[in-house]
């Protein structure tokens, strides 16, 4: 009997998870994992945020049950998440035009946003995605049947945003196209537009009738300030008055990686459209996950809706952001001290969890095979994998590998991973 699955192809494993598996199986007593983007403390251990620990204790003391959430998710969480992104002073004037739904973290949120646009639009819009970017952007939207187009975001030679290429894409994209925007902490480059650049991007997008879909996975984690990190979201929605979609994740900024806590919302033109749109989101959610997970949403909701816990969380964000920034500057200083050829100022000018080193692929492989230092093939590293015990080793290894190589370290133009 012929199997229903006889034509199934063998698809390679996800690159970053495969890299993590290699790291775990490495028996070397000295090894460093700079691959997966998950925060670690200075002892290289997962960190439970004090605000999260307090919220968990309170929930447990309230006789936690395990009943279903509504299809759209925990209402008080959804409202608090939208208010966080839009800002407390403007939220009241926008709230009636919002359609929101709890999602399975950032990936689920992007998929939900794409499914919603597909269900509501007869235009079959193109999706424009920065190059390089988080690899799941292409996977999510191509799996939904969208035509995905790449545009040059990063200037590999100058190690900064290529604004000329960015603006050229915006000017030439078909009206009603979707543009994927990293709200902050661009993955993998760590290069975000300045406020002036965001205003220029927004102005062109509004003139050209392009739709902003903002991936907000690092609010507060990037700079330590929600207000600073939410600037692009608030500019498009509050200042330009544009319709927009925002996919929020609380995996990074609350350390709730395994709980898959997210919220996706769209701001529409009026209350009636918002109500209709939310009904479509509810139907899509029902067909895919039926009801979202409750525990993580209750933790996040308690933090966002309790003044004391919110203040604790803001302090936690500064703790994480400060450690990442400390490792960023330590790596830069040690690369310079070790005489690593080239200009490394891009390491300190970038922001967020990642640093885009710009190393050739064979050096990345050499670092793994000879020094047991694991990073993505495009030389994106998670700075959370560095600590005071290993950063000197990493900097010395990188310096030695580059000195042994005669080519300029400009890096390949390839997409990022988780």
- Domain CATH number, residue 352: 3.90.1150.10
Residue identified by tokens 């925007």 is 181
Domain-ending residue, one of 305, 333, 366: 305
Domain-ending residue, one of 256, 278, 305: 305
**pLDDT surpassing 70 at residue 61:** yes
**417 lies in a domain?**
no
Give yes or no: residues 142 and 163 share one domain. yes
Strands of the 148-152 sheet, one edge to the other: 98-104, 261-267, 244-249, 211-216, 178-182, 127-131, 148-152
Q: Give the side-chain half-sphere CA count within 13 A for 207.
A: 10
Give yes or no: residues 334 and 392 share one domain. yes
Give yes or no: residues 296 and 244 share one domain. yes
Give yes or no: residues 162 and 60 share one domain. yes
Which pLDDT band, with edges at 50, 70 and 90, does 68 fall under?
A: very high
Residue identified by tokens 């998929």 is 111
**166 lies in a domain?**
yes
Q: Which residues are within 8 A (CB) of 160 and not within 5 positions of it... i.e. 6 or more apart?
A: 154, 191, 346, 349
**414 lies in a domain?**
no
**412 lies in a domain?**
no
Beta-bridge mates of residue 336: none
Give yes or no: residues 264 and 226 share one domain. yes
- Specify the pLDDT at position 406: 59
Q: Per residue in 226-235, pLDDT tens? A: 999 999 999 9
Query: Using an 8 Å Cβ cutoff, are 209 and 176 in contact?
Result: yes
Total Cβ atoms within 10 A of residue 301: 24
Q: Which residues are within 8 A (CB) of 326 and not within 5 positions of it... i.e. 6 or more apart?
A: none
Give yes or no: residues 245 and 299 share one domain. yes
**8 lies in a domain?**
no
Q: CA 239 → CA 197, 198, 206, 232, distances in Å?
A: 15, 12, 11, 10
Q: What is the mean pLDDT of the segment spanning 73-83? A: 98
Question: ∠ at Cα 309 (303, 311), nearest 5°?
Answer: 115
Q: Per residue in 384-394, pLDDT tens? A: 999 999 999 99
Query: In the chain, pLDDT over 70 holds for what percent of residues?
Result: 97
Give yes or no: residues 206 and 271 share one domain. yes
Task: Round to whole Å and give the CA distance between 40 and 345.
Answer: 24
**342 lies in a domain?**
yes
Domain-ending residue, one of 256, 277, 305: 305
| 20-24, 234-238, 407-411: segment of lowest average pLDDT | 407-411
- Specify the pLDDT at position 412: 42
Q: Which CATH number is 101's domain given? A: 3.40.640.10
Give yes or no: residues 37 and 57 share one domain. no
Give yes or no: residues 292 and 398 share one domain. no
**pLDDT surpassing 80 at residue 250:** yes
Which comes out higher in pLDDT, residue 197 or 5?
197
- Specify the pLDDT at position 372: 96
Q: What is the mean pLDDT of the segment spanning 73-99? A: 97
Give yes or no: residues 61 and 135 share one domain. yes
**141 lies in a domain?**
yes
Catalytic residues: 134, 215, 252
Give yes or no: residues 38 and 105 share one domain. no
Q: Per residue in 292-327, pLDDT tens? A: 999 999 999 999 999 999 999 999 999 999 999 999
Number of domains making up the chain: 2
Beta strands in 122-241 (DSSP E): 127-131, 148-152, 154-155, 160-161, 178-182, 211-216
Give the dihedral sign, CA 244/418/103/287: positive
Give yes or no: residues 211 and 334 share one domain. no
Q: Mean pLDDT score of the chain, rounded to an integer?
A: 93
**212 lies in a domain?**
yes
Domain residues for 355? Answer: 15-47+322-403
Beta-bridge mates of residue 155: 160
Q: Per residue in 40-50, pLDDT tens? A: 999 999 999 99
């Amino acid at each position: 009997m012929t199997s229903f699955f006889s034509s199934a192809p063998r698809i390679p494993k996800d690159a970053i998870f495969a890299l993590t598996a290699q790291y775990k199986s490495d028996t070397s007593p000295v090894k460093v994992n700079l691959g997966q983007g998950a925060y670690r403390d200075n002892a290289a251990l997962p960190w439970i945020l004090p605000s999260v620990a307090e919220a968990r204790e309170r929930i447990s003391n309230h006789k936690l049950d395990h009943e279903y959430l509504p299809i759209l998710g925990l209402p008080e969480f959804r409202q608090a998440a939208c208010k966080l992104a839009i800002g407390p002073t403007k939220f009241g004037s926008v709230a009636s035009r919002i359609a929101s739904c709890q999602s399975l973290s950032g990936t689920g949120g992007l998929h939900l946003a794409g499914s919603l646009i597909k269900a509501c639009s007869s235009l079959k819009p193109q999706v424009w995605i920065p190059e390089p970017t988080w690899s799941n952007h292409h996977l999510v939207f191509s799996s939904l049947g969208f035509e995905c187009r790449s545009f040059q975001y990063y200037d590999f030679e100058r190690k900064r945003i290529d604004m000329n290429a960015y603006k050229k894409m915006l000017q030439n994209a078909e009206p009603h196209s979707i543009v994927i925007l990293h709200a902050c902490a661009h993955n993998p480059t760590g290069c975000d537009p300045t406020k002036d650049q965001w205003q220029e991007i927004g102005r062109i997008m509004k003139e050209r009738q392009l739709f902003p879909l903002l991936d907000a996975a690092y609010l507060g984690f990037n700079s330590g300030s929600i207000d600073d990190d939410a600037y692009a979201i608030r500019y498009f929605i509050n200042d330009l008055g544009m319709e927009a979609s925002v996919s929020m994740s609380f995996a990074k900024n609350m350390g709730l990686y395994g709980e898959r806590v997210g919220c996706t919302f769209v701001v529409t033109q009026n209350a009636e459209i918002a109500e209709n749109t939310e009904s479509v989101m509810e139907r899509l959610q029902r067909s895919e996950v039926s009801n979202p997970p409750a525990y993580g949403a209750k933790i996040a909701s308690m933090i966002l809706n309790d003044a004391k816990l919110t203040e604790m969380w803001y302090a936690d964000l500064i703790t994480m952001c400060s450690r990442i920034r400390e490792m960023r500057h330590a790596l830069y200083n040690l690369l310079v001290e070790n005489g690593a050829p080239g200009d490394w100022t891009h390491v300190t000018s970038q922001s967020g969890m990642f640093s885009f080193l710009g190393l050739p692929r064979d050096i990345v492989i050499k670092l793994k095979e000879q020094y047991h230092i694991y990073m993505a093939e495009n030389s994106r590293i998670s700075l959370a994998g560095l600590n005071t015990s290993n950063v000197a080793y990493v900097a010395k290894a990188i310096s030695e590998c580059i000195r042994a190589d005669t080519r300029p370290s400009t890096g390949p133009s390839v997409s990022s991973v988780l």
